[in-house]
Amino acid sequence: MSTSTMQPANFIEDIIIKDLESGKHGGRVVTRFPPEPNGYLHIGHAKSICLNFGLAKKFGGVCHLRFDDTDPAKEEPEYVEAIKRDVKWLGFDWGDKLFHAADYFEALYEFAVELIQQGKAYVDDLSPEQMREYRGTLTEPGKNSPYRDRSIEENLDLFQRMRAGEFPDGARVLRAKIDMSSPNMNMRDPVIYRIKRVEHHRTGNDWVIYPMYDFAHPISDALEGITHSICTLEFEDNRPLYEWFLNNVSVPCHPQQIEFARLNLAYTITSKRRLLRLVELGHVSGWDDPRVPTIAGVRRRGYTPEAIRDLCDRVGVAKNNSLVDMAMLEHCVREDLNRRAPRAMAVLRPLRVVIENFPEGQVEELEAINNPEDRSMGTRKVPLSRVIYIEQEDFMEDPPKGYRRLAPGREVRLRYGYVIKCEDVVKNEQGEVVELRCTCDFETLGGSTPDGRKVRGIIHWVSAEHAVPAEVRLYDRLFTIENPAEVEDYVEYVNPKSLEVLTECMLEPSLAEASPGSFYQFERQGYFCVDIVDSKPDQLVFNRTVALRDTWAKIQKRQR
Ligand code: ATP
Ligand code: MG
Return the ligand number nearest the Cα of 34.
1
Q: Give the Cα separation of 318 and 66 in Å (integer).
A: 24
Would you say 339 and 307 are in contact if contact means Cβ atoms under 8 Å apart?
no
Q: Determine whether the shortest distance from the Cβ of 272 to ligand 1 is under 6 A.
A: yes
Question: 441 pairs with which residues across the strands?
Answer: 419
Q: Determine whether the shortest distance from the Cβ of 229 to ligand 1 is under 6 A.
A: no
Q: Determine whether the shortest distance from the Cβ of 36 to ligand 1 is under 6 A.
A: yes
Which pLDDT belongs to residue 552?
44
Which pLDDT belongs to residue 549?
81
Which pLDDT belongs to residue 53?
98
Strands 30-33 and 468-475: unpaired
* Residue with CA at minimum distance from ligand 1 atom 23: 45
Which pLDDT belongs to residue 554?
53
Instruction: Please identify every stretch of the chain with a pLDDT value under 70, giving residue numbers as ranges.
Output: 1-4, 550-560
Q: Give the Cα separation of 94 and 92 in Å (integer).
A: 7
* Residue with CA at minimum distance from ligand 1 atom 29: 262
Structural domains of the chain ordered from first start: 11-260 (3.40.50.620), 272-342+470-559 (2.40.240.10), 346-460 (2.40.240.10)
Ligand 1: atom nearest CA of 275 is 3
Name the residues around ion ligand 2, CB cutoff 5 A.
36
Which pLDDT belongs to residue 446?
87
Collapse the DSSP code of 358 into the 3-class scheme (helix H, G, I; strand E, B; otherwise coil) and give the result. Answer: coil
Which pLDDT belongs to residue 3?
63
Which pLDDT belongs to residue 557?
58
Find the 39 Cα to ligand 2 centroid distance in Å: 10
Whole-angstrom CA distances from 490 to 40, 277, 335, 414, 486 are 19, 10, 31, 46, 8
* Nearest of 185, 180, 258, 207 to residue 14 by alpha carbon: 258
Contacts of 300 (CB under 8 A, 6+ apart): 288, 289, 290, 531, 532, 533, 543
Q: Determine whether the shortest distance from the Cβ of 293 to ligand 1 is under 6 A.
A: no
Q: Give the Cα separation of 274 and 39 in Å (integer).
A: 10
Would you say 100 and 66 are in contact if contact means Cβ atoms under 8 Å apart?
yes
Q: Give the Cα separation of 459 and 419 in Å (integer).
A: 10
Would you say 89 and 303 are in contact if contact means Cβ atoms under 8 Å apart?
no
Ligand 1: atom nearest CA of 35 is 10
Return the ligand number nearest the Cα of 234.
1
Which pLDDT belongs to residue 553?
47
Residue 458, number of CB atoms within 10 A of its CB: 18
Q: Determine whether the shortest distance from the Cβ of 271 to ligand 1 is under 6 A.
A: yes
Residue 393, number of CB atoms within 10 A of its CB: 11
- Among all residues, which ones are annotated catalytic? 36, 262, 272
* Residue with CA at minimum distance from ligand 1 atom 16: 45
Instruction: For the chain, count helices (H), then strands (E).
Output: 13, 27
pLDDT in tens, 400-427: 999 999 999 999 999 999 999 999 999 9
Q: Which residue type does 461 have?
A: W
Return the ligand number nearest the Cα of 272.
1
Contacts of 249 (CB under 8 A, 6+ apart): 111, 114, 115, 219
Find the 504 Cα to ligand 1 centroid distance in Å: 41
* Residue with CA at minimum distance from ligand 1 atom 13: 35
Find the 480 Cα to ligand 1 centroid distance in Å: 24
Helical ranges in 118-249 per DSSP H: 128-135, 152-163, 213-223, 239-248
First to last CA, the chain: 51
Burial of 249 (0-12, 13-18, 19+ CB in 10 A): buried
